Chains A and B, each alone.
Chain A
Amino acid sequence: MKINNLSTTRWVGLGLLLVVLVVLVLLPTITEGYLPVLVTDILKFVILTVAWVLFAAPTGYMSLATGAFYGLGFYIAAVFNGPVPFPIVIIIAGIAGFVVALLVGALTLRLRAAYFCIFTFALVLLISNVVLEVERLVTQTRGRFVETETVEAAYYAMLIIAVLTLVVAWLIRRSRHGLALQSIGEHEEAAAHSGINVTRTKVLVFAVSSVFMGMAGAIIATRRAYIDPGIAFSMNNTFLPVLMAMFGGMGNLLGPVIGAAIFTYIGELLLTRFPDLYMLIFGVVLILAILFMPNGILGLGQQIWAKLRGGRRAPA
């Protein structure tokens, strides 16, 4: 009975996933204009949030460098898109994210979590300022132009990378690296003395998560036409994924996805309806969410579900 229940929920879940995927694939052919653009933005935040959660949730290392790798993708697109085909540009952006994260990780992941957090935050400012100075002194420009892609091209690229991010995050969670990451988060010393190469595991997964951040940046950049360091390395892209992950819940991968989707949509809604009050309402919503949903929207959902079922079965 119990097993039956479990497999039915699993099939329903799988079916739902498939429906969502089909709708997403067909979306640009059904409507055009605003909706695909909005969904591209949602998918971008899904990528950033899931990639951030992939590393931060199990290890407890709060990276604030998301914006750095994302912005790096912007500049890769500015430099390469046009002469180099769009898919290759995305791959280059991913590699760039990986390499930079590898270097940064090797330098900083020996630090304790709080110092790591501060360093990664500074990294965004550092890269942003270096790019600004290079533009001022070397190329003597302010910002750059990016060869644009169509709405559809950007949409499908983002959808593919979002699916890829989710698949990789799911595989890592299930693999031995997932267990290693969790052990590191719980007791780094015990993990090391049980044979886990703590530094290598952290650096590698940090670098993998940065691949997707770089890729998302490269795709969005092709819809911007003009970019400068302020746009590319905006702090929003660092902090919003963290808030979205908290909002959705970090217990599994569905939480960050739902968090990113709802959050982006609410943000968009507030920005268009109440442009002046946008930040104020956003802040209140966020505080309420953290106060009343400590396990995110998904945690709240599970709680309500458990109550509705009269506590016949403990929540999973």
Chain B
Amino acid sequence: MHLLEGEGVCKNFGGLAAVSEVDFYVDEGEIVGLIGPNGAGKTTLFNLISAALKPKPGKIIYKGRDITPLPAYKICRMGIARTFQTVKIFANVPVLRNVMVGSLFGTGKHMSSSEAQKKAQEALDFVGLASLKDTLAGDLTLAQQKRLELARALASDPELLLLDEIMAGLTPTEVAEAMEAITQIRSRGVTVIMIEHVMQAIMKISDRIIVLDYGKKIAEGTPAEMAANPKVIEVYLGEECDA
């Protein structure tokens, strides 16, 4: 049984098919990369998995259970956490309290506030923001805010983590740190699906890559296979032409 499975997932915005008939699966312990040009439907697919949007038609199955009808907060409590392409932190709330939202409400277990605080503290230690725990989240730099979002997601004890362009806008050093963090997250038993445009990063740490284009899945396989796949090359580099 796959950890997460999508069956014929579709989503239309008016006449535009943002995601059309995508079948996919993710196995436990994998790092799956989701790539494709702008507007390919990657973030929409994340929104469908995390129930920000509902597929129509289509089904999302998590641990053998159809989670399509569930609301977003229940999806989170079942163990699917996410970050956002444009950061969505609670700007006027201190860093630690931001992360505590994840540990207080997102784990699906009842948490005392001291337990929740401990968990939040651990997550902050992991992303390296422990020293800024009393700062207002809005005062952090963009790179720090991205780490804060990651900490908030981790504090909800996820089994599956959806990372939406967590490396966008980061310096090469920060990208290397983020890659290291993601590998560590996986080694703790968390499965990861990540959307990324930083190619060298995603090619290096993904076990498997899914390529979307115009809402359709056009290829799937190991990073090496994808790098050699003519369809993928066409999408990324343009059609080959005989001169």
Q: Could you list which residues of chain A lie within 8 angstroms of chain B, going by C-beta atoms?
A: 176, 179-180, 182-183, 186-187, 189-198
Contacts and interface: CB of A to CB of B under 8 A. Distances in A.
B104 interface: yes
A198 B73 CA distance: 8
Interface string B98-125: 0011101111100001000000000000
Contacts, number: 76
Contacts of A183: 90, 93, 101
Nearest to B93: A182
B76 A179 contact: no
B139 to A, nearest CB: 13
B102 A195 contact: yes
B93 A186 contact: yes
Interface string B23-42: 00000000000000000000
A4 to B, nearest CB: 20
B63 to A, nearest CB: 17
Contact of B105 (A186, A189, A195): A195
26 contacts: A176-B113, A179-B97, A179-B101, A180-B104, A183-B101, A186-B90, A187-B88, A187-B89, A190-B84, A191-B101, A192-B72, A192-B73, A192-B76, A193-B50, A193-B52, A193-B72, A193-B73, A194-B73, A194-B101, A194-B102, A194-B106, A195-B104, A195-B105, A195-B156, A197-B71, A198-B73
Contact of A193 (B76, B97, B100): B76
Contact of A186 (B71, B73, B91): B91
B88 A196 contact: no
A19 B57 CA distance: 65
A187 B106 CA distance: 15
A53 to B, nearest CB: 16
Interface string B79-92: 00110100011111
B77 A192 contact: no
B100 to A, nearest CB: 7
Contacts of A196: 73, 101, 105
Interface residues of B, number: 30
Contacts of A197: 71, 73, 105
B93 to A, nearest CB: 6
Contacts of A176: 104-105, 113
Contact of B108 (A179, A180, A182, A195): A195
Contacts of A191: 90, 101
B100 A195 contact: no
Contacts of A195: 73, 76-77, 101-102, 104-108, 156
Contacts of B208: none
A276 to B, nearest CB: 44
B88 A189 contact: yes
A183 B105 CA distance: 11
B11 interface: no
Contact of B92 (A186, A189, A193): A186
A191 B98 CA distance: 10
B56 to A, nearest CB: 19
B216 interface: no
A187 to B, nearest CB: 5
Contacts of B90: 182-183, 186-187, 190-191
A31 to B, nearest CB: 44
Contacts of B75: 193
A38 B62 CA distance: 62
Contacts of A198: 73
B152 interface: yes
Contact of B104 (A179, A182, A192, A193): A179
A194 B92 contact: no
Given A193-B50, A193-B52, 13 more contacts: A176-B104, A179-B104, A182-B93, A186-B89, A189-B88, A190-B90, A192-B71, A194-B76, A194-B101, A194-B106, A194-B153, A195-B76, A195-B105
Contacts of B100: 179
Contacts of B101: 179-180, 183, 191, 194-196
Contacts of B82: 193
A21 B41 CA distance: 61
A217 B72 CA distance: 38
Contacts of B76: 192-195
Contacts of A193: 50, 52, 72-73, 75-76, 81-82
Nearest to A190: B88
